């Protein structure tokens, strides 16, 4: 376990963290609450920005945020708890518990837990953005995808699917004879004293609930409405940084799950495709990888108006929780940078970028299509995407296959930045003085795309 070097050194690192987060707040791309813990001691915790911009209410340590997919670790825990209670077996087919589920004999509970079931992801459906505003029963939501063909043979590969965690939610309710929300309250939140955590519901009056926002690069906007019946066990929980740390400390004990269950949850069950050089795996509700040459167990979350990241470095007993009520916050990057500060490694202080005026005729030289340069670190799903650059009304735009058109803004005649995400682009010319490449700078990594026409 890593111990603080000394009081003055520890205070210095906390000062660095404070300066870093304040700099991010000033860029407009972060607000929320942050906690850094070491071995049960809270080293740093603070709220930033506003929980509610319209009423001028600041984020504090008691502010409640939607967790998004950080919810999945609690769903996985509930499943393993039910196994300890001899109410299910993760190696059984889901037909054992949901006999009317098509192809249920092929899919095990294990496949749902580690995203290897092959069930299509309902949040990727074309009609999701319109349907998500309406209340829906869990069984009706499951019915929207359960009759679709599986995308691959269960167990064959990893493919992140919120749908699988909806099915897990239904299994929890079926075998426990309780609602998903009630089971988690009885067997996780209440035993741990997590009084500020639960299943979010629009109708409930919830003290210190944060409102969710989007930052356009120039102004804040209210996030889209999402009826919380839609995310269920895939992303419907709320919590505070203090409660998250209480939860984190319990994972070193038998308070909720025994050692065997915890070992099962944190096992590297399937390799995850990643654009990073390091290997990454998925357990049950957790990603397992290496960051800063240390084993990390983590999960991020994104849901309308919120972005979260929860990182654990169990060998050092370091925990970092970032809960943000800003959908465009780079919570994952913030988590990695805070860890870098703790271990005295390099990181970049965030800066607010400003667009400059340049001759818009330059944009025409960049118009075209670009493709990712072949790399062993890029999965095929990324390598095959096309990056398109277009212009309109003296402005320049980019679009990646399957994503929205996004405007980019010049910092120089060759360097551009995006406002919605922390990413920059550099256009490169060849010996003939023609644009041949664009380099994407994101997450401290440079990715080359070659021009194909």
pLDDT in tens, 115-146: 999 999 999 998 998 999 999 999 999 999 99
Residue 403: the pLDDT is 77
> Does the pTM of the predicted model rise above 0.85?
yes
Residue 278: the pLDDT is 65
Kindly state the average pLDDT of the residues 351-363: 91
More confident residue, 73 or 328: 73
Q: In whole numbers, what is the pLDDT of the chain averaged over residues?
A: 93
Indicate the fold that domain 360-451 takes in CATH: Lipocalin (2.40.128)
Dihedral sign, Cα of residue 111, residue 112, residue 114, residue 117:
positive
pLDDT tens-digit series, residues 372-393: 887 655 555 566 789 999 999 9
Query: Do residues 298 and 286 make contact, with C-beta atoms less than 8 angstroms apart?
Result: yes
Tell me the residue length of the chain. Answer: 453
What does the alpha-carbon distance between residue 278 and residue 417 come to, in Å, rounded to a whole number?
A: 26
pLDDT tens-digit series, residues 408-437: 999 999 999 987 677 899 999 988 889 999
Specify the CATH number of the domain 7-342: 3.40.710.10
Kindly state the average pLDDT of the residues 273-287: 82
Residue ranges of domains in the chain = 7-342, 360-451
Kindly state the average pLDDT of the residues 101-123: 97
Residue 172: the pLDDT is 98
Do the domains at 7-342 and 360-451 have one common CATH topology? no
Q: What percent of the chain has pLDDT over 70?
A: 95
Dihedral sign, Cα of residue 273, residue 259, residue 168, residue 107:
positive
Query: Do residues 180 and 168 make contact, with C-beta atoms less than 8 angstroms apart?
Result: no
29: CB partners within 8 A, 6+ apart:
215, 326, 328, 329, 330, 350, 422
**Can you say how many angstroms the Cα of residue 48 is from the centroid of all Cα atoms in its chain?**
19
Kindly state the average pLDDT of the residues 21-35: 95
What does the alpha-carbon distance between residue 439 and residue 450 come to, in Å, rounded to a whole number?
A: 9
Q: Is 270 helix (H, G, I), strand (E, B) or coil?
A: strand
Per the structure block, which two tokens stand in for 332? Answer: 């994952």
Residue 8: the pLDDT is 57
Pairing status of strand 445-451 against strand 368-372: antiparallel
Q: Is the pLDDT of residue 3 over 50?
A: no
How many C-beta atoms surround the C-beta of residue 358 within 10 A? 15
């Amino acid at each position: 376990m890593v111990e603080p070097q000394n009081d003055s050194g520890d205070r210095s690192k906390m000062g660095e963290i404070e300066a870093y987060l304040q700099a991010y707040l000033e860029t407009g791309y972060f607000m929320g609450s942050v906690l850094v813990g070491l071995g049960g001691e809270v080293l740093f915790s603070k709220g930033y920005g506003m929980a509610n911009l319209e009423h001028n209410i600041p984020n504090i340590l008691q502010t409640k945020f939607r967790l998004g997919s950080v919810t999945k670790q609690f769903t996985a825990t509930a499943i393993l708890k039910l196994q300890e209670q001899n109410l299910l077996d993760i190696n059984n087919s889901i037909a054992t518990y949901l006999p009317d589920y098509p192809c249920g004999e092929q899919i095990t509970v294990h496949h749902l837990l580690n995203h290897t079931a092959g069930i299509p992801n309902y949040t990727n459906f074309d009609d999701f953005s319109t349907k998500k505003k309406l209340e829906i029963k869990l069984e009706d939501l499951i019915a929207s995808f359960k009759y679709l063909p599986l995308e691959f043979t269960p167990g064959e590969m990893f493919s992140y699917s919120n749908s699988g965690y909806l099915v897990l939610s239904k299994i929890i309710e079926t075998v426990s004879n309780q609602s998903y929300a009630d089971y988690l309250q009885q067997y996780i939140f209440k035993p741990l004293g997590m009084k500020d955590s639960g299943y979010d519901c629009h109708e409930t009056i919830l003290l210190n609930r944060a409102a969710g926002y989007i930052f356009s690069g120039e102004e804040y906007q209210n996030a889209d409405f999402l009826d919380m019946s839609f995310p269920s066990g895939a992303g419907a929980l709320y919590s505070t940084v203090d409660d998250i740390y209480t939860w984190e400390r319990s994972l070193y004990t038998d308070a909720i799950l025994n050692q065997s269950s915890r070992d099962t949850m944190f096992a590297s069950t399937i390799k995850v495709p990643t654009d990073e050089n390091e290997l990454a795996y998925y357990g049950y509700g957790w990603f397992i990888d290496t960051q800063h040459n240390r084993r990390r167990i983590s999960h991020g979350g994104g849901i309308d108006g919120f972005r979260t990241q929860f990182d654990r470095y169990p060998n050092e007993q370091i925990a970092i929780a970032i809960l943000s009520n800003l959908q465009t916050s780079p919570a994952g990057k913030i988590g990695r940078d805070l860890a870098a500060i703790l271990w005295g490694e390099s990181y970049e202080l965030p800066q607010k970028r400003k667009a400059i005026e340049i001759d818009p005729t330059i944009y025409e030289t960049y118009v075209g299509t670009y493709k990712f340069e072949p790399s062993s670190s890029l999965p095929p799903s990324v390598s095959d995407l096309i990056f398109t650059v277009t212009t309109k009304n003296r402005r320049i735009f980019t679009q990646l296959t399957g994503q929205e058109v996004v405007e980019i803004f010049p910092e120089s005649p060759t360097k551009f930045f995006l406002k919605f995400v922390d990413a920059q682009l550099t256009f490169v010319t060849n010996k003939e003085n023609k644009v041949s490449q664009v380099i994407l700078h994101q997450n401290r990594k440079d990715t080359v795309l070659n021009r194909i026409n």
